């Protein structure tokens, strides 16, 4: 299991308050619940088998990241609270993405990563040395989804899942052990 610094609420700078960190942890949990549900619904409703498979792979990455995060919270004796309507919002968004033209769906997906990436980068920037690898993984998982959407928009559909699959295959890069 994860080895976590018991002082994980300590940050590298004083400008990142406990309240701000908690807000970012909540956003991380909301993001993973939202992403998992969104991609599962999009996969279920997609009429294109290749696109359905891509949605399923994205859902697998979100599930993996959510599970790692829940383990992280448990091991570090922290908590996070997801937005209460995240699953409902994700279901509606997933249905919309499945029905939109693919390039439009990919543009929306790319744009959607930006709001979460900011919070994830703050968590990474202010993490303890023991937690840095975990929050680096969190940032990398969001960047992989963003890169997937960019490659799809560029027409590089044969290689678009490579960043996502690389993270799924490698698991979590914790130097402190998992």
Say which CATH number the domain at 147 has: 1.20.1260.10
Mean pLDDT value across residues 72-92: 91
Domain of 76? 18-170
Split at pLDDT 50, 70, 90, the class of 173 is low
Q: How confident is the model at residue 172 (pLDDT cuts 50, 70, 90)?
A: low
8 has pLDDT over 80: no
Whole-angstrom CA distances from 2 to 10, 112, 168 are 18, 29, 18
Task: Please indicate, yes or no, if residue 67 is contained in any of the structural domains.
Answer: yes
Tell whether 149 is covered by a domain.
yes
27-81 pLDDT, tens per residue? 999 999 999 999 999 999 999 999 999 999 999 999 999 999 999 999 999 999 9
User: Average pLDDT of the chain?
Assistant: 89
d(CA 33, CA 136): 19
Q: What is the maximum span of the chain, computed from C-alpha positions, in angstroms?
A: 50
Average pLDDT over residues 101-110: 97
Identify whether 175 is part of a domain.
Answer: no
| pLDDT at position 176 | 38
Model pTM score: 0.88
Number of domains in the chain: 1
- Given a cut of 80, whether residue 152 has pLDDT beyond it is yes
d(CA 52, CA 43): 4
Phi-psi region of 155 (alpha: psi -120 to 50; beta: other; left: phi over 0): left
22 found inside a domain: yes
How many whole angstroms separate alpha carbon 61 and alpha carbon 100? 22
Give the ranges where 76-157 is alpha helix by DSSP (H): 86-99, 102-125, 132-153
End-to-end CA, the chain:
4
């Amino acid at each position: 299991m994860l080895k976590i610094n018991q002082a994980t609420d300590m940050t590298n700078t004083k400008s990142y308050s406990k309240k701000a960190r908690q807000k970012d942890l909540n956003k991380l949990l909301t993001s993973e619940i939202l992403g998992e549900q969104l991609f599962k619904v999009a996969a279920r409703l997609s009429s294109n088998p290749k696109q359905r498979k891509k949605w399923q792979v994205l859902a697998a990455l979100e599930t993996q990241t959510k599970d790692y995060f829940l383990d992280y919270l448990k091991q570090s004796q922290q908590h996070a609270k997801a937005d209460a309507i995240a699953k409902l919002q994700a279901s509606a968004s997933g249905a919309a993405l499945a029905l939109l033209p693919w390039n439009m769906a990919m543009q929306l997906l790319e744009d959607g990563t930006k709001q979460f990436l900011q919070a994830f980068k703050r968590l990474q920037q202010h993490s303890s040395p023991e937690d840095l690898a975990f929050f680096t993984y969190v940032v990398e998982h969001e960047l992989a989804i963003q890169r997937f959407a960019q490659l799809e928009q560029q027409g590089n559909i044969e290689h678009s899942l490579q960043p996502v699959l690389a993270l799924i295959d490698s698991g979590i890069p914790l130097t402190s052990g998992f």
